[in-house]
Amino acid sequence: MADSLAEPLLRVDSLVRRYGGITATDNLSMEVIPGELHAIIGPNGAGKTTLISQLTGQVMPNSGTIYFAGRDVTSLPSYTRSRLGLARSFQITSLLKDFSAIDNVALAAQAHDGHSFRFWGNARKERHLRDTARAALERVGLGQRADIVVSQLSHGEQRELELAVALATKPQLLLLDEPMAGLGVTESARMVALLKELRKEVTIVLVEHDMEAVFALADRITVLVYGRVIACDVPDAIRKHEEVKRAYLGEQHAVTRHD
């Protein structure tokens, strides 16, 4: 899978982000190859979410460059990056709580269907937006829950909806920030099965604490510690990596569980 000849879809070059005296992203470089599922792991506070937020433009780096699909996107705002095909899900579920599930997804489809300075027609009656949204909902198994208001959905369903929203923007690269966070065992298993399907269609960067899921899904794994990349390799190599084991001291069993 890790075809080093392929032009990377995403390339991060010497990225730095400081918060006061803390360097959350420390001279970080990495590449994501088209078609791979690239996991990012690391202990709490390793700067995973900060990295994702810089990739999508919610947080601007102090220095360094981000290339997406061959283009320097470092200074582009998040809505422009989304239009270029970069989608994210949020670690803490971030949906339009007072909208129905299908409205959430249809708005994502609408965002990628020309401008929205249309003041007259009823957007909820636009067939192709609704169809796209419905398809994305079916995809994540929420087809029956389309008209439920988000605040009435279970936590697991909201996580799935996050994914449907990201999918509806027809992304080239999907950045998932802990999609398994707070899910029960069965819900997690469903999410893993879902991601296994999705990875066939879209390149994915996955930030996740659930090591079982990471090692089951990833083509390559990048390990972050204090904002720095200490290893980037295939799962088997990461499992045996000495520095990674040390970084996870105390959490070691999590990494080695599959040995």
Partner 1 sequence: MMPKLNASNAVAALMCAALILLPVYSAATGNIFILTLFTRITIYALAAASLNLIMGYGGMMSFGHAAYLGIGGYAVGILAAEGIGSGFIQWPVALVVSALFALLIGALSLRTRGVYFIMITLAFAQMAYYVASALSRYGGDDGLTVYKRSDFAGLINLSDRNQFYYLCLACLFGGLYLIWRIVNSRFGLVVQGVRSNEQRMQAIGFHANRYRLVCFVISGTICGLAGALLANNTDFVSPAVMYWTRSGDLMVMVILGGMGSLFGPVVGAIVYLLLEELLSQFTEFSGLILGPVLLLIVLFARGGIMGLLGRMRRG
| Residue nearer to partner 1 on the CB measure, 81 or 199 | 81
Shortest spacing between CB 128 and partner 1, in angstroms: 12
Shortest spacing between CB 130 and partner 1, in angstroms: 12
Tell me which residue of 69, 39, 67 sits closest to 172, measured CA to CA: 69
For tokens 């700067």, name the residue: 47
Q: How far is CA 109 from the centre of its chain?
A: 18
Do 206 and 195 contact (CB within 8 A), yes or no? yes
* Phi/psi of residue 147, nearest 5 degrees: -95, 5
| Residue nearer to partner 1 on the CB measure, 150 or 218 | 150
Other beta carbons less than 10 A from residue 225's beta carbon? 20
Host H or E run for residue 177: strand 173-177
The DSSP code for 100 is B
Shortest spacing between CB 150 and partner 1, in angstroms: 9
| Residue nearer to partner 1 on the CB measure, 168 or 223 | 168
| Residue nearer to partner 1 on the CB measure, 49 or 169 | 169
Shortest spacing between CB 62 and partner 1, in angstroms: 21
For tokens 């994210």, name the residue: 88
| Residue nearer to partner 1 on the CB measure, 168 or 213 | 168
CA distance 107 to 36: 28
Residues of the shown chain interacting with partner 1 in the complex, contacts defined by CB under 8 A: 56, 58, 77-79, 82-83, 87-88, 90, 94-99, 103, 107-108, 110-112, 116-124, 126, 165, 168-169
Tell me which residue of 201, 168, 194, 167 sits closest to 180, measured CA to CA: 194
